[in-house]
Amino acid sequence: MSDPLLRHRAEALFARLQDEVCARLEELDGAARFGRDEWRRPGGGGGTTRVLADGAVFEKGACNVSTVWGPAPPALVEHLGVAAGEFFATGISMIFHPRNPHAPTMHANLRYFECDGGAAWFGGGQDLTPYYLYADDVRAFHRNLADCCARHEVADYPAWKAWCDRYFHLPCRGEARGVGGIFYDHVRELEPMLAFSEDFGEHLLAAYAPIVARRRETPTTPAQERWHLLRRGRYVEFNLLYDRGTRFGLQTGGRTESILVSLPPRVRWDYLAEPAAGTPERELLDLLRGPPRDWL
The answer to whether residue 102 is catalytic is no
State pTM to two decimals: 0.94
d(CA 136, CA 119): 41
Task: Tell me what the pLDDT averaged over the chain comes to.
Answer: 94
Q: Where are the alpha helices (DSSP H) in 30-102?
A: 74-80
Torsion of CA 134, 103, 164, 257, to 10 degrees: -170
**The pLDDT of residue 118:** 81
pLDDT of residue 83: 67
On the CB side of 87, how many CA atoms lie within 13 Å of its CA?
Answer: 22
* DSSP 3-state of 180: coil
- At residue 9, the 3 state secondary structure works out as helix
Residue 218, SS3 per DSSP = coil
Nearest to 293 by CA among 143, 183, 179: 179
Return d(Cα 149, Cα 296) in angstroms, integer: 13
Q: Tell me which of 80 and 222 has the higher pLDDT.
A: 222
The pLDDT value recorded for residue 1 is 46
What average pLDDT does the segment 154-164 reach?
98
The answer to whether the CB of 105 falls within 8 A of the CB of 129 is yes
Structure confidence by residue, pLDDT tens digits, 4-13: 789 999 999 9
Higher pLDDT, 229 or 119: 229
Identify the active-site residue in 8, 79, 97, 107: 107
Strand order in the sheet with 86-98: 37-40, 45-53, 58-71, 86-98, 105-115, 120-129, 181-187
Nearest-angstrom CA–CA distance, 120 and 145: 24
The length of the chain in residues reads: 296
Angle at 148 between CA 123 and CA 81, to 5 degrees: 15
DSSP label at residue 243: -
Picking from 217, 228, 191, 243, the residue whose alpha carbon sits closest to that of residue 13 is 191
pLDDT score recorded for residue 42: 87
| 276-to-19, 103, 173, 176, 227 alpha-carbon distances in Å | 43, 22, 18, 19, 12
Q: What is the pLDDT of residue 116?
A: 84
- Give the tens place of pLDDT for each residue, 223-266: 999 999 999 999 999 999 999 888 877 776 778 999 899 999 99
Burial of 272 (0-12, 13-18, 19+ CB in 10 A): exposed
Mean pLDDT, residues 127-134: 98
The CATH fold of domain 6-289: oxygen-dependent coproporphyrinogen oxidase (3.40.1500)
| pLDDT score at 80 | 65
pLDDT digits (tens, 9 = 90+) for 79-96: 666 666 788 999 999 999
Position 281 pLDDT exceeds 60: yes
Arithmetic mean of pLDDT, 145-174: 98
Tens of pLDDT along 31-63?
A: 999 999 999 988 889 999 999 999 999 999 999
**Residue 84 near residue 56 (C-beta atoms within 8 A):** no
Q: Is 236 exposed, middle or buried (0-12, 13-18, 19+ CB in 10 A)?
A: middle
Q: Is the pLDDT of residue 2 over 60?
A: no
E-assigned strand segments in 32-168: 37-40, 45-53, 58-71, 86-98, 105-115, 120-129
Q: Where are the alpha helices (DSSP H) in the chain?
A: 6-29, 74-80, 135-150, 157-167, 190-202, 208-215, 222-241, 244-251, 256-259, 280-289
For residues 283 and 245, the model is more confident at: 283
Q: Which has the closest alpha carbon to 127: 179, 201, 202?
A: 179
Go through 243-253 and write b for each residue having 16 or more CB atoms within 10 A of its CB, e for each that does not. bebbebbeeee
| Structure confidence at residue 82 (pLDDT) | 66
Q: In the predicted model, is pLDDT for residue 191 greater than 80?
A: yes
